[in-house]
Amino acid sequence: MDRCARCEAEVETGEKESTYCEACSQRFEAVRERGVWVRYRTDVAGGVLPPGFYVRSDAYGDRHASNRVDALVTATEIMDRQQVDGVFDCPETDTRWLVDGYLDAHPGVAEAVEAERDSFFSRLSNW
């Protein structure tokens, strides 16, 4: 038995690539579909767009961000405005998080995101 990377529930080993239990997988999928999705993309529009973090939402489409903090600033702003949750796919560890959970678990990143949000006018208004 393995354990779900998010809630520690026991999951069958080797059934699928993800190390998340059924409940967590479904929660992530629901948030990803209805809310904000932050992930690292290397091959975007056949190489026309730069690789990097992209923030996808129904309201604002797919937005490129220059780095992780920038991406999470954009994501949290959309989450606040649209009253939705967000999913963050961490490229280094190949793990999936709810944005709020990721920020809770990474206080340094959360601090940088807060500082950015305080020091800049809305990203969304410039789009």
Residues that bind Zn ion (CB under 5 A): 4, 6-7, 9, 21, 24
* Residue 45 burial by Cβ neighbours in a 10 Å radius (0-12, 13-18, 19+): exposed
User: Residue 126 and residue 88: Cα distance in Å, rounded?
Assistant: 23
User: Residue 89 and residue 16: Cα distance in Å, rounded?
Assistant: 17
Least separation in angstroms between residue 24's CB and Zn ion is: 3
Nearer to Zn ion, 24 or 99 (CB): 24
Q: Of 81, 86, 89, 64, which Cα lies nearest the Cα of 117?
A: 81
Least separation in angstroms between residue 20's CB and Zn ion is: 5
Least separation in angstroms between residue 86's CB and Zn ion is: 18
Nearer to Zn ion, 9 or 112 (CB): 9
Nearer to Zn ion, 24 or 73 (CB): 24
Give the rounded distance of the alpha carbon of 82 from its chain centre.
15
Nearer to Zn ion, 7 or 124 (CB): 7
Least separation in angstroms between residue 92's CB and Zn ion is: 21
